[in-house]
Structure 1
């Protein structure tokens, strides 16, 4: 009778989960503000939002309303479309492909003499 041998699968590194949208938006806003060499206080004042709120948005701690997001984008001279494009790129760069679905272990047959 053939001998069944289980061959273990090569382990795959776990896929990183996609970042939360608020984290990705915050990272893009912070990068843009930094690229413009502007302070939190300057952008918060221009956007008419509190400095702590802007800081929390940039750190991904708060999800801004569409009105607050529009105000921050205007203060940074950034269109909403540009923000969304950059956010999508950020998500794509920080996310690996999802892990392949689990399959049954491979079984090899060896014939005994």
Structure 2
């Protein structure tokens, strides 16, 4: 249902090209990753997007949560830090910051800048 709703309401879907199998080797993350079904969600999104004539883009995940979506500066932080705070004044949830960066990167592959 989640993948259907995402594809139904969006013409362009951008996701990180995560290496889920490698991430499962980290015992601290493995259970959460397995429970979330990350690998399957990607497959469903891609399949349904292609079937509906939508655009599905995988982007390089490097620095998506470290790069400030406001100014582009790299702000290093551990996984335990859940809020992105930058010198430029931007302060938002780490995952929201990463999602914005993934979108920018995906759109950039089509020559679209935000």
TM, length-normalised to structure 2: 0.29
Q: Whose strand proportion is higher, 1 or 2?
A: 2
Q: Which has the higher contact order (CA 8 A, sep 6+)?
A: 1
Output the TM-score relative to the length of structure 1: 0.29
